[in-house]
Structure 1
Amino acid sequence: MKSFDAIVIGAGQAGPSLAARMVEKGMKVALIERKFLGGTCVNAGCMPTKTLVASARAAYVARTGAAYGVNIPGEIAVDMKVVRARAETVTMNARNGLIGWLGGMDGMSVIYGHARFEGPKTVSVNGETLTAPRIFLNVGARPVIPELPGIDEIDYLTSTSIIQLDTLPRHLAVIGGSYIGLEFAQMYRRFGAEVSVIEHGPKLASREDEDISDAIADILRAEGIGVHTDAGNIAFARNGSGISVTAGSAKIDASHVLIATGRKPNTDDLGLDAAGVATDQRGYITVDDRLATNVEGIFALGDCNGHGAFTHTSYNDFEIAAANLIDGGDRKLSSRIPAYALYIDPPLGRVGVTEKQARASGRKIMVSTRPMSRVGRANERGETKGFMKVIADAETREILGAAILGIEGDEAIHGLIDAMNAGTTYPALQWSVPIHPTVSELIPTLLGDLKPV
């Protein structure tokens, strides 16, 4: 049996940084990863997909150049092998950087293998038993494959496997109208494929307010993407070399199918029962406000704890754990204000609650919206789709939430994220003097138009 001061299982966004901090403090740490360092973000999520999004936007800009007085003769062709190779290079650079960083640390043992609990303080990996007083789980999540008629008869893609595709689909059917599915839908439409999005529910991006969901659907339809909502009885069948997809009354002759119906935590094969670690009905590890499980000395960080499915929330879990366990701090999970982005083009930046959630809370609220067509930067760039929205408490003047669906919305939203984290009321933020011409300069104007609803 090998003894360590800490064992970290999973090398996503929280695990490596936490392991490194502990090593810096003189601890002996084992970092166990069953596949690749960097987790989903580096290997199958943010980095490769946003690299693909960039390639897709380059194709879109080239095709629409004439509207800006830039004429490119001939057909705009996309070389999918080059597109894939570029994404792979970005991933490998990041992964190799992690390998070099972690491998060069004294006190760090990087172990590749599948770890399972044998008890609350022991895990087995590659036939060896390791023990430590503290064990941190950062095992991430994977795509959910729903039980749909005919799905076992077809070759389908997931968000992990589609990034390996180096050919252009004739017609890509995307099953699931949420964030992952929508990004791939627009991306492949811009690469040149026919694309259909099939969503069982009544709206795309159902977490958002209806006005945001409707605007997202309009953006996708304007680029020629078929949007099928309220799609019941989804089924598949082989059709020669293609795939026949049935969704309610719609029948789609697809060449490829992407299943993008959500993700589930990688907790089912860790031997959690042997350690007594509790999970909820969906398999997420139950944690308290400081990321501790019900078993003393075992913590869960990142996607596997159900408190955020993003790289930034996973990294914030590391910050919370490091502050509390290493630096003597008292940081809490409940203090985190939710924020995220949807990387279609134009992107959606979101923070805090939606209008629907604010209304349901019983507060007296104020709401303001502003179309991007009234934003100078958007007009100058010729990208006026979408709108800005903010929700505030009418009595406390607290900013409750905001959404910017529009050009640079994923960046401009940070003015509101920072204000909310600082506890700045909306009247105080109104008096800021932003730079012109930017998207962010309209935030004070947006706040000034708040009206009771």
Structure 2
Amino acid sequence: MSETFDSIVIGAGQAGPAMAARLAATGERVALIERDQMGGTCVNTGCTPTKTLVASAHAAWLAREGARYGVLTGPVSVDAARVRARKDAVVLAARGNVTRWMENTAGITVIRGHARFTGPHTVAIDDRQLTAARIFVNVGARATVPPVPGIDTIPYLTNADVMDLDVVPDHLIILGGSYISLEFAQIFRRFGAEVTILEAAPKFLGREDADIAAQIHEILTGEGIRIEVGITDLSFAPADHGITARFRTAAGDDVALTGSHLLVATGRLPNTDDLGLEAAGLSADPRGAIPVNDTCRSAQPHIWVLGEANGRGAFTHTAYNDFEIVAGNLLDGEDRKISDRKPVYALFIDPPLGRIGMSEAEASAAGHRVLVGTRAMARVSRAVEVGETRGMMKVVFDAETRQLLGAAIIGFHGDEAVQFLLPALYQRLTDHDIRSMTGIHPTVTELLPYAIADAKEV
């Protein structure tokens, strides 16, 4: 016998609980299904735990740098078990908040288990059958492991389990030069590990402009992280007390590198392969994503797909914005679209990168004549005062309309400071509009108008 609900929400990541709560607030009976942990990737294996590790790593780095500030600390060591315990406590608190919210919200029935479609309007969880007029899919993604020769013969870690280490690796080899890998590289280097990054792509951080990527490369290698890009002929094999990676460098040298641990950080795959999509009249694209239109609707108009599973965004904030789009259109009479969303993201190394809108390369490729302004963080008073002058800020404008196209700040509080320009991006403000603003001294954002004033056509 089937249980009937007004709506079914599959997955309790960033979009799912918010969607369930909004629907329940209208008087709907909502089933929220989660097969693992409430809160999804962000709370359990993504933003929340990684940023606690970034904070611990920063504390270790700052303690070692204390002499620069006239603070003498003596030898610095890291207790990996205590670092993990702090991380676990923060995660448990965040997960508990989501769980209590869902379990105590009137109109929501929380069901634990793996959901599979058995029809366009029906879902099975073990021996339970649920039916609803509307279904919302928020199943997230997981780490992928590429078919590198020998990788099946060795133990390896992914972003989900590397944070459960109770020891600092002697030598952490990281496969992949992604944003995730760079965060972990700096974390474990600051904990005291030797770290090597192996990346097959010919360029380091090819998504970023060359000058921004060079700043990030300099920060990481300056802390002792080895970065090999353009590698070929990679293979792995067991070694005494660890693993051995064999590869050919971009310069053509054959290298055998032995490490104590291997972290695989080569991408993510949407969790759509075991949802029974065919029964719902749906299919995934070659990347594993369920295609949606500009309002997150799938080919079945009563099924919406939010977050990583729709392939239209890979961040917590884009997943939550998917919820805002769907809820706004469905419940508030709005006309919101994914295409209205501006690209915004951060790389949470220390100091961090914050990016909004287009890069210089993207703007040029889109046909814009561009104005580009830059400012070294060494010329920012606040950065000098706190002793963190690594990095730069960069702004990109259209040379004809003078409207802002994008910006990047790699440096002290760059992830926060760059968002000063978000309203300008959405409101299509010109360089003159932004330069007329007066910021607080001494801050990072007060220097953005000066970088803008120096913008020149390239």
State the TM-score bracket (shorter-chain normalisation).
Answer: over 0.9
CA distance in 2: counterparts of 1:79 and 1:9, whole angstroms? 39
User: Match of 1:303?
Assistant: 308
User: Match of 1:291?
Assistant: 296
User: Match of 1:92?
Assistant: 92
Q: CA offset at residue 427 of structure 1?
A: 1.2
Query: What aligned pairs does 1:16-95 form with structure 2 within 5 A after superposition?
Result: 16-73=17-74, 75-95=75-95
Secondary structure in structure 2 of the residue aligned to 1:4: strand
Q: CA offset at residue 268 of structure 1?
A: 0.3
Q: CA offset at residue 423 of structure 1?
A: 2.4
Secondary structure in structure 2 of the residue aligned to 1:289: coil
1:57-103 Cα distance to aligned partner (Å, 9 max, x none)? 00000000001100012x20100000001011111001111111111
Secondary structure in structure 2 of the residue aligned to 1:237: strand
CA distance in 1: counterparts of 2:351 and 2:45, whole angstroms? 22
User: Match of 1:220?
Assistant: 220
User: Match of 1:281?
Assistant: 286
Task: Determine which of 415, 432, 435 is the counterpart of 2:440.
Answer: 435
1:116-164 Cα distance to aligned partner (Å, 9 max, x none)? 0011100001211101111000000000100001100100000001111
Q: CA offset at residue 278 of structure 1?
A: 3.2
1:27-52 Cα distance to aligned partner (Å, 9 max, x none)? 00000001011000000000000000
* Cα RMSD for the two superposed structures: 0.8
Answer whether contact 1:203 1:210 (CA < 8 A) is retained: no
State the aligned residue count: 452
Task: Determine which of 372, 383, 391 is the counterpart of 1:378.
Answer: 383
CA distance in 2: counterparts of 1:328 and 1:160, whole angstroms? 39
1:193-243 Cα distance to aligned partner (Å, 9 max, x none)? 000011111222221111111211111110011111111122111111211
CA distance in 2: counterparts of 1:103 and 1:432, whole angstroms? 47
CA distance in 2: counterparts of 1:95 and 1:2, whole angstroms? 27
CA distance in 2: counterparts of 1:92 and 1:180, whole angstroms? 22
TM-score, normalised with respect to structure 1: 0.99
User: Match of 1:210?
Assistant: 210
Secondary structure in structure 2 of the residue aligned to 1:5: strand
Q: CA offset at residue 418 of structure 1?
A: 2.3
User: Match of 1:411?
Assistant: 416
Task: Determine which of 309, 316, 325 is the counterpart of 2:330.
Answer: 325
Answer whether contact 1:48 1:91 (CA < 8 A) is retained: yes
User: Match of 1:392?
Assistant: 397
* One-letter amino acid of the counterpart of residue 298, structure 2: T
- After superposition, the Cα gap between the structure-2 partners of 1:247 and 1:213, relative to the gap in structure 1 and judged at 3 Å, is farther
1:261-287 Cα distance to aligned partner (Å, 9 max, x none)? 010100000000111113221111100
* One-letter amino acid of the counterpart of residue 22, structure 2: R
User: Match of 2:251?
Assistant: none
Secondary structure in structure 2 of the residue aligned to 1:357: helix
User: Match of 2:274?
Assistant: 269
CA distance in 2: counterparts of 1:252 and 1:375, whole angstroms? 40
CA distance in 2: counterparts of 1:304 and 1:210, whole angstroms? 31
CA distance in 2: counterparts of 1:212 and 1:444, whole angstroms? 19
Secondary structure in structure 1 of the residue aligned to 2:172: strand
Secondary structure in structure 2 of the residue aligned to 1:133: strand
Q: CA offset at residue 296 of structure 1?
A: 1.9
Secondary structure in structure 1 of the residue aligned to 2:158: coil
Secondary structure in structure 1 of the residue aligned to 2:262: strand
CA distance in 2: counterparts of 1:224 and 1:365, whole angstroms? 36
CA distance in 1: counterparts of 2:164 and 2:239, whole angstroms? 24
* One-letter amino acid of the counterpart of residue 66, structure 1: A
Answer whether contact 1:268 1:283 (CA < 8 A) is retained: yes
Answer whether contact 1:278 1:293 (CA < 8 A) is retained: no
User: Match of 1:444?
Assistant: 449
Which is further off, 286-295 or 210-219?
210-219
Structure 1 stretches (4+) deviating beyond 4 angstroms? none
1:308-340 Cα distance to aligned partner (Å, 9 max, x none)? 110000010110011001111111110000100
CA distance in 2: counterparts of 1:168 and 1:323, whole angstroms? 46
Secondary structure in structure 2 of the residue aligned to 1:413: helix
* One-letter amino acid of the counterpart of residue 97, structure 2: G
Matched, 1:147 2:138: no
User: Match of 2:429?
Assistant: 424
User: Match of 1:337?
Assistant: 342
User: Match of 1:134?
Assistant: 134
Matched, 1:365 2:370: yes
Q: Share of identical aligned residues, percent?
A: 54
Answer whether contact 1:198 1:247 (CA < 8 A) is retained: no
Which is further off, 196-205 or 435-444?
196-205
User: Match of 2:361?
Assistant: 356
Q: CA offset at residue 429 of structure 1?
A: 0.8
Q: CA offset at residue 359 of structure 1?
A: 1.0
Matched, 1:255 2:260: yes
Secondary structure in structure 2 of the residue aligned to 1:88: helix
1:392-445 Cα distance to aligned partner (Å, 9 max, x none)? 101111111111000100000111122212322221011001000000001111
CA distance in 2: counterparts of 1:392 and 1:229, whole angstroms? 31
TM-score, normalised with respect to structure 2: 0.98
CA distance in 2: counterparts of 1:370 and 1:101, whole angstroms? 45
Query: What aligned pairs does 1:172-187 form with structure 2 within 5 A after superposition?
Result: 172-187=172-187
* One-letter amino acid of the counterpart of residue 286, structure 2: Q
